[in-house]
Structures are given as C-alpha cells and as structure tokens.
Amino acid sequence: MASVTELYDAIPASILIIDERMHLIGWNRFSRDTINGLSDHEMASVNPLKRVHPDDLPEMIRKARDIIDLDIEETGEFRMYHKSGPPYKWATFRGKRAIIAGQPCVVAVVTEITEIKEVEEQQKKLQEQLLQFQKMELVGQLAGGIAHDFNNALAAIIGNTELALKKLDPSNPVVQNISDIHKLALRSADLTRQLLAFARKQVAMPRVFNLTKEVSDCLHLYQRLIDKNIHLEWHLCDEPIQVKFDPTQLEQILSNLLVNARDAIDGSGCITVRCGSARFEPSDGKTCTPRLSPGDYAKLSVTDNGCGIEASVLPHIYEPFFTTKEVGKGTGLGLSSVYGIVRQNNGHIECHSEPGKGTTFDIWFPLHQEPQQKTGIPADKPQTELKTKAKIMVVEDEPYILKLVQDILESHEFTVFTATDADECLLAAKTYEYRIDLLVTDVILPTMNGIELSRVLQKKNPAMKCLFMSAHAPDNVNGQKKLRVGVDFIQKPFGIEDFLRAIDQVLNSKVEKI
C-alpha cells in the first residue's frame, strides 16, 4: 500500500503547509519540482506568498490569517509565478486549518487554472462583442425608422417649396424665404442619408472599381480639408484592388475619417492612409473576429497621431449622435454612417486607439473577382416629352405627399387618381375599369403593400407600369421583388425634376412584370 507521502506526491497540484509565520513547512513533489524548481533543502526557506502577484497579495494574507485565527475554510483565485519569475499564472486555492506539532497551520491545495481563465476571458470578450453588435443593430433599426419618418416629412417640404418657387415671380420678397426653407430641407435630407447609412438602408449604386485608384483620386481632393500644418500621406499598393460598392460611399468614408483625424490633432501632425489586400485562411488566427470570414479582402486604413480615444469611449463611437466634440462642432453621425456603409457592403471596421498615441481605423471589404466595369454611371438623359395623356393612379398613406404628387402630375396635365391605401385603390381601379397606365405607389401601405397591390392590378391590366416610392433603400423595403433605382424605384425625399424624370423613364420603358 502506498504511503501518505507517495499519495501526496502523485497529486498533479501543489500541496502546501504554512505555519502562522507564513513559512513553508510542508510540500509535495509537484510544488517542489513544478512550482518552485528547488531542492528539499532549499524549500525550507521559501516564503510562498512572495510568488503571489502584488495586487492579489493583501487578500491572500487576509485569507491565510482568517484560516489560522478564525478556523474557517477559505477558497479563492490569485496570480502567481513559477520557479524563477513572471509571467504570472492564474491559480485557485482551497485552504483549511490543521494543528501540526501543536501549532495551527494552513493546509492548502493550489491548482493552476490559467487556460480556464483565458477561455473565460475570451468568452467574456465575445459576449461583449455580441451585446455591442445587438445594441448597434437595435440602434440601427431606430435610426432607420426615424430617418424613414423624417424623409416623408422632408419629401413634402422639398416638393411644396419647389412648387411654390415655380409659381412665384422671382421678384416676390417671399421667394428668398422659401428658397432658404428649401436649402435647409435639402441639408436635413443629407443628415437622414447619414442615418440611413448607419442603418444600412441607404440607396446605393454599386459598381466595380479599383479601390487604389479611387482612394488616390479622393485624397488629392481631400487635401483641402486638412490644415496646412497637418501632413497627409498615403501608401497605396501598386496592383489594382477591385471592390464592388458605391464610389460615393467611399467618399463618405474617407471624408468622415479624415475630418475626425484632423480634429484629433492639436497643432502639427500627420495623417496616413494605407490601402492594400489581405487574405484570411480558415486556420488564420486573425479570423477570430466574427465579422471576417476566410477569403480575400481589400484593406483601407486611416491613422492619425492625434489625441487618441479613451477606452471608455471606444464602445460608443459608432452610435448615432454620440460625439466628443464641442457643441456645434459635430453632428455625431460621421462614424455611425461609416459603420453603416461598411456593414451594408459586407465589410468590417475596427478602431485601435490609446490616449495620446493616436488612432487607426482599419476597414476590410471583400475583393471582387470579376473584371472591372468599363462604363461608369450614365449621366442623366435629357427629359423627353412626357406622355401627358397617361392615366396615373397614386397610392400614398401620407396625405401631404399624396397631395404633392397629385399637384406635380396635374400641373403637367396627367389624369390623376388618388388613394390612401390598397383597398381604396382597388375600389377606384375597378370603378375606372382598370384603365390605368401607371401605378405610383409607396411600398409600405397599411393593409396591402405596394408590391402586392401592383401584382393584383397587373392581373387585371397587364400593360400597367409601376413606379415605387419609399423613404428606405429598395433592398430594405420588401423582399418580394428587387426594386431598382432609375428603373422602377425613387427614394424620398425627391425633387420635382427627379420625380418627373422617373415618371418619364417608366412610361417610356417596357412593362416590368412583378
């Protein structure tokens, strides 16, 4: 039968006996060889508490005294180093009082738990990332909802001011007031576009382009945004890096990041822009972020040597209206719109910053493998003669927008029928024996959405054409049909000329089956 000493020595954990002077008077082989790396003779002079991390030492001393003085059992976690010194490792201990040779002592079992703590820390970080992502998703939904309602109001303001300006003599003193209202409404529409970008509901016109060239072209223009005492430099790779998204969104990203970098620098400094490619393999440790799947990416980085960002602020920088700038010097929508654009295009953004050490924003976009499109976005064609004899059914549940659209169309001598929902539209269409040339409808309606309504009407009148309106982007309004800007969709708010151009485009095109 094995002796007690042999049993202790077989245990893969440190067993210690400490007297009331905190001296080591007993140990097993694991403690001697693995933890201390000393001989039995040297072990007799060891003070085990000296291996404890300074931050954990007071608590460990208190627990040891309580075990001896109060005869209570104690457990806990602490950091300690093995053998010659740091790094510190996590351990757990369980201690109990024992009387040995007539003296009270602490008998403790110490087990290393470093790997367990690292796993727990990783799980904690992932949980925090998940909670932050969920929070951003909810904030995005709220921002999108606010932008949707605000865009409806702006559509009525912009359209009615344009109608009023067309009717008034330019010498009329109220023209300037109405023009100011129109300009402010357009500026407000820009703010809602930033909200929609954060909510990933911004209308985008994606195309394939060379990110390296586009960034270079943009930076030449954006130098005027940067103060003369701030040096702007860029390091772009030589080979083409093809991506597919809206180039105007790239301009939004760069302008927001460059302005923030400029504002973070007090006095002279440097802003550096880098562009290159990156590949993540399934086994690559860099793919630990849940936002990056294995594959090929384009990487865009903007670095400044400014004041940096406090750790407590970092989790909030992408939230709409959150800003550290003085009142009147920022809307708090810059980084939120950057975040929304990146996520809308299946990308990922990370911020690395320390107070006094500057900030770096890293953005990844999926590489596009197909050949670059040779043609750019076509310029708006001149408006052709409108088919003013066409009969148009307008369906809109917002009365101000319904009246506005009716006034625009009737001022161009169209025959206009109106309805506030699908039921009213179907009843009117039946009354007019479905003789409707064009259906202009909001996508979101109270009883039946605009897509479903168009299908019902086209069954009765296959020649009927459709133009859909919404304050959201077409990809987000309905999953039943792919709506296309410039083909069968116009986003609110819109100007009169844009609306008439859309009407003309649809009336002169082939019928789109829904």
> Residue 108: which of 68, 59, 69 has the closest Cα?
68
pLDDT > 80? residue 139: no
Q: What's the DSSP call for residue 33?
A: I
Higher pLDDT, 159 or 206: 159
pLDDT > 70? residue 17: yes
pLDDT > 90? residue 321: no
Q: What percent of the chain has pLDDT over 90?
A: 25
Higher pLDDT, 320 or 30: 30
Rounded to whole angstroms, the Cα distance separating 44 from 115 reads 30
pTM of the complete model? 0.47
Sequential DSSP letters for 228-296: TTEEEEEEE-SS--EEEE-HHHHHHHHHHHHHHHHHH--SSEEEEEEEEEEEE-TT-GGGGSTT--SEE
CA dihedral 381, 385, 388, 394 (to 10 degrees): 0
Kindly give the pairing relationship between strand 269-280 and strand 230-236: parallel
Q: What average pLDDT is seen over the chain?
A: 81
Report which residue type is found at 237: C
Amino acid 3: pLDDT:
62
Amino acid 287: pLDDT:
45
492 and 470 Cβ atoms separated by less than 8 Å: yes
Amino acid 123: pLDDT:
84
**Which residue's entry shows tokens 């357009």?**
186
Amino acid 229: pLDDT:
85
Amino acid 288: pLDDT:
46
Amino acid 127: pLDDT:
79
pLDDT tens digits for 441-472? Answer: 998 888 888 989 999 999 999 999 999 988 76
Range picked from 104-108, 123-127, 142-146 for highest mean pLDDT: 104-108
Amino acid 468: pLDDT:
92
Amino acid 512: pLDDT:
64
Res. 317 pLDDT band, cuts 50 70 90: confident
pLDDT > 70? residue 170: yes
Higher pLDDT, 136 or 210: 210
pLDDT > 70? residue 513: no
pLDDT tens digits for 191-249? Answer: 676 666 555 555 556 788 899 888 888 787 777 767 778 888 888 887 888 998 877 78
Find the mean pLDDT for residues 321-329: 61
Q: What percent of the chain has pLDDT over 70?
A: 80
Read off φ and ψ for residue 447, nearest 5 degrees.
-105, -50
In the chain, the largest separation of any two C-alpha atoms, in whole Å, equals: 113
Rounded to whole angstroms, the Cα distance separating 338 from 255 reads 10
Q: What burial letters (b/e) apply to 132-164, b meaning 16+ CB within 10 Å?
A: eeeebeebbeebbeebbebbbbbbbbbbbbbbb
Higher pLDDT, 321 or 497: 497
38 and 32 Cβ atoms separated by less than 8 Å: yes
Amino acid 200: pLDDT:
53
Kindly give the pairing relationship between strand 103-112 and strand 230-236: unpaired
pLDDT > 60? residue 380: no
pLDDT > 70? residue 424: yes
| Domains of the chain by start residue, with CATH | 4-112 (3.30.450.20), 123-198 (1.10.287), 207-366 (3.30.565.10), 391-507 (3.40.50.2300)
Res. 375 pLDDT band, cuts 50 70 90: very low
Kindly give the pairing relationship between strand 207-210 and strand 242-245: antiparallel
Amino acid 240: pLDDT:
84
Q: How many CB atoms are located within 10 Å of the residue 478 CB?
A: 18
pLDDT > 60? residue 386: no
Rounded to whole angstroms, the Cα distance separating 504 from 485 reads 14
Amino acid 374: pLDDT:
46
pLDDT > 50? residue 384: no
Rounded to whole angstroms, the Cα distance separating 274 from 298 reads 11
